[in-house]
A and B are shown apart, each in its own frame.
Chain A
Amino acid sequence: MEHPRNLSELLPGQSAEVRSLQTVGPMRRRLLDLGLIEHTEVMCLGKSPLGDPSAYLIRGAVIAIRAKDSRQILINIKQT
């Protein structure tokens, strides 16, 4: 079993698969609308100059998410 990790731990260049969303309320709905559901592949593209938020490639679009929200997204990091 892999250690459960969250999206904020993903480093630029790494890819991962979403395991589950722990967010609730508006943020959860927003993430779902962006196509971030279970088994979605996510890639971290980079971090902003002050380290937060980070940019992720989600279903062909680049979305910036704050660390406090990405901590709530559990992932499996893909080994390449």
Chain B
Amino acid sequence: MGLTSHSTGTKALDAKLILQKQSPEDRIIALAGNPNVGKSTIFNSLTGMKQHTGNWPGKTVANAQGRYRLHGRTYILVDIPGTYSLMAHSAEEEVARNFLCFQKPDAIAVVCDASCLERNLNLVLQTMEISAHVVLCINLMDEAEKKGIHIDAGRLSETLGIPVVTTVGRDKKSLKSLTSALQQICDSPKDLSVQELRPVSYPPLIEESLSLLVPVLQKLTDGQISPRWLGLRLLDDDPSLIQEIHRCLGPAFPENPELLSALEKASSLLKAHGIGPETFRDLITSALIYRAEELCRDTVRYEQPPCQFRDWKLDRILTGRISGYPAMILLLAFLLWLTITGANYPSQALSSLLFGFQELLSRLFLALHAPDWLHSMLVLGVYRVVAWVVSVMLPPMAIFFPLFTLLEDAGYLPRLAYNLDRPFQCCHACGKQALCMAMGFGCNAAGVTGCRIIDSPRERLLAILTNSFVPCNGRFPTLIALIAIFFTGMQKGLTASLLSALLLTFVILLGIGATFAVTWLLSVTVLKGIPSAFTLELPPYRKPQIGPVLVRSVFDRTLFVLGRAAAVAVPAGFLIWCMANLSFHGTDLLSLCASFLDPAARWMGLQGVILMAFLLGFPANEIVMPVIFMAYLAQGTLTEPGSLDAMKDLLLANGWTWKTAVSTILFSLFHWPCSTTLLTVHKETGSIRWTALAALLPTAVGVLLCMLFTGICQICAL
């Protein structure tokens, strides 16, 4: 359900799959299917977990596992990335195929979208060639019914010879049929040696060459892998498979003389009739698709022709020639406006509550006769920073996040990629980068992980390196506060909040502009290459699950940020306090550090303190502003903190001007990514050098822009 603590926190780093059976009675079940058919929703419903779901294809990028219990037995459910095929054309197809074929799950549920069953059946048929334990789960039945599509599941089950169940992923009750079908199939015997896995008949020549191979393979595979499927793959000459076969059947397998001669005979038979590798694949795929067509002809009934029910009206506006881009910007501005307006109230309430509590704490310390330094350290140091983070930074984050998630749930993100593909194409990149960029608004670490949806390694690297050019949720509050304080005035009302939203939109567009510029720059220098194959599925719009999204992302996000506040803001507050109170040759450390950084900072129109706050904010961007305020307060300026007015007074008293604010906004937009993001970049690229570049690029852009701005201001004597 949107970005959750699982997909945005350090947990995003841990995606390696190790299957742990706790007892030999445990059963492993794989959840396969086309992209965007609701696999993750079913996964969450069954396991009660919070795997990220969203209405866009390619969202699940790694295998995830969870458990559920039924009739005293534990089932380990594995959510594998969505694929159109198992012929391993892309990284996720390879992951899916390897899991289904070599990890040998006890049962495979292939989840299909009821609205386009025909295309989905291609994968079902391919899975049936691999495993005898397939359950076909036709999901999203509610949507199909609305479109007037009727599916005869009983008849389909008869024809295919496998259990077919119909479900509505969001409705837990409808999943009962799935779990009971899976339970039954787990108990049936497994033997792949018999030649029963033949859901599709291929053209006679292919069948003939297969018949040369299958008897040999039957002996060699010993019931471990379907001989027919393996024969097809060997004829297809798929190099990625050879490695896996080594692992599964032993290194001697591909060199078996009997097999080699059979393979030779079969291949030459195909070659003699002019069937080359390309034609072979065409024939195989066509046979699968024709079979799917045939199956649907008998079992699916449409009340109206398929081209009628796709609601393209909304897309005429959201992706229209004239309205597409304005709609995109307006939507962004509207989201930001809601965030800004909505955050005011809880922000004020929280700050009076938390700073009121500070009084209580102080009195408590006094009553306990605690030493003065302890009170100053814990209350004025640690507590106050945490209070800042919670009252000023948390509300905008807690509001923007669910809003963004709703948009994601509704299916707008693929349209964003569709609209922005052309400009990305001009930068020799992939339109799907827009999806990763949009994820970056939520959390850059999640955005970087999301780059796995891009197949071409070069284009994926472009997307990874430029991801932190869009501000993440943790940076929004800083931008919002500075814009409100210095540019839209402190007065409340519609005009001010609209103006704030527009300015923030402009700042974000600047980030997007920089994304394009840097992507282009990289693709003409270190990452040269031409754009690769690109197809993007635009799923139907879905009504977002407002209740669950709100509840889950608010709680998840709130708890996550609070946790991070405790983990990062507490030591930061402690550090600031120590620095302000420990002196060296008569000057406190804080002033020393600040004045050390000051010359560099001045060049950029910042102050030493601000630069130091950005450095301390490396573990979490949320604490940058609080650290700045803390530093000012620690140096003795006594102001009642909390409200925007107080913040403004404090900043003005410390020499801020609107120019300082612009530079800080620029630097907040473009500086090194937070530590979690960098760790994720390292994990995704496996290279220190790319990670360093990911940190260096935005920093260089930020430093240059800040210096440019300051220079222009000086020349124009502003």
Contacts and interface: CB of A to CB of B under 8 A. Distances in A.
B115 interface: yes
Contact of A61 (B116, B289, B312, B321): B116
A31 B307 CA distance: 19
A50 interface: yes
A33 B316 contact: no
B281 A32 contact: yes
B316 A46 contact: yes
B106 interface: no
Contact of A34 (B117, B306, B324, B535): B535
A62 B537 contact: yes
Interface in B99-151: 115-119, 122
A52 B704 CA distance: 34
Contacts of A25: 533
Contacts, number: 127
Contacts of A58: 119
Contacts of A59: 116, 118-119
A30 B535 contact: yes
Given A34-B119, A53-B431, A60-B306, 9 more contacts: A15-B307, A24-B278, A29-B85, A30-B89, A48-B419, A49-B321, A49-B324, A53-B536, A66-B531
9 contacts: A26-B533, A28-B278, A35-B119, A37-B286, A45-B312, A46-B316, A48-B418, A61-B537, A66-B425
Interface residues of A, number: 37
Contacts of B324: 48-49
A35 B535 contact: no
A66 B23 CA distance: 50
B84 interface: yes
B537 A27 contact: no
B425 A52 contact: yes
B319 interface: yes
Contacts of B423: 50
A43 B532 CA distance: 24
B422 interface: yes
Contacts of B419: 48-49
Most buried by B among A47, A49, A69: A49
A61 B319 CA distance: 17
Contacts of B292: 35
A70 B310 CA distance: 21
Contacts of A29: 85, 87, 89, 281, 285
A55 B307 CA distance: 13
Interface in B539-590: 539-540
B321 A57 contact: no
A26 B430 CA distance: 15
Interface string B523-538: 0000000011111111
B119 A61 contact: yes
Q: Which of B119, B312, B418, B535 has the most CB of A within 10 A?
A: B535
A33 B306 contact: no
A33 to B, nearest CB: 4
Contacts of B278: 24, 28
A35 B89 contact: no
B289 A35 contact: yes
Nearest to A58: B119
Nearest to A64: B536
A4 interface: no
A43 B278 CA distance: 26
A60 B115 CA distance: 7
A69 B325 contact: no
Contacts of A61: 116, 119, 537
Contacts of B119: 34-35, 58-61
Contacts of B321: 47, 49, 51
A76 B232 CA distance: 33
